[in-house]
Structure 1
């Protein structure tokens, strides 16, 4: 499978991972990529969070890069809070941030 590696990391304590997967599938399809390429990984323990550099659920990485890098990326079993481009907080990244991250990855490949 060519193209970027796409990962969705999640923790069961946060309910937004299903919506994150749907959003990611839509973004991949819009970019002409097969949504089946998404690798999902459930994070269960704090050791796994540290090993995977998981800073909250859901985390989306493309080619190993977080689609919305954080200033203080401490691993934790927690829900993630994203700031959308209009300044509103929410449990999912802004769709434009996701599209931009995919576009950067496609430009590199």
Structure 2
């Protein structure tokens, strides 16, 4: 199992979210690997939907995100029932960790 946080340098949401993601991972005994995306080319190759992106075993934790193709070096916006936010819902992360 691989839990990754992909980000670009200077993303405030990623920096603020990393401790939260580590706490969520600790609930399931997992560790977070943080990886920086540094170029538009890498964003395309990685399928990077913006910062922060959270993946479990290569699959995005956001439901339906694997069908998206809007890759690039940008801040990511997650659309939830409660509106837009800069980080994924805890439930998505925990569900992805539980599905492995």
With normalisation by structure 2, the TM-score equals: 0.87
Show structure 1 runs of 5+ residues with no match. Answer: none
**What residue is the counterpart of 2:51 in the other structure?**
57
Contact 1:13-1:78 within 8 A present in 2 as well: no
Does the Cα contact within 8 Å between 1:7 and 1:39 map onto a contact in 2?
yes
Q: Are residue 82 (structure 1) and residue 52 (structure 2) matched? A: no
Matches of 2:96 and 2:58, distance apart in 1? 11
> Over aligned residue pairs, what C-alpha RMSD do you find?
1.5
Number of positions where the alignment pairs a residue of Structure 1 with one of Structure 2: 98
Match of residue 102, structure 1, among 90, 97, 100:
97
Q: Is the 8 A contact 1:83 1:94 kept in 2?
A: no
**CA offset at residue 83 of structure 1?**
1.9
Runs of 4+ in 1 over 6 A off after TM superposition: none
Match of 1:23 among 17, 20, 40: 20
Aligned to 2:86: 91
Larger Rg: 1
| Unmatched runs of 5 consecutive residues or more in structure 2 | none
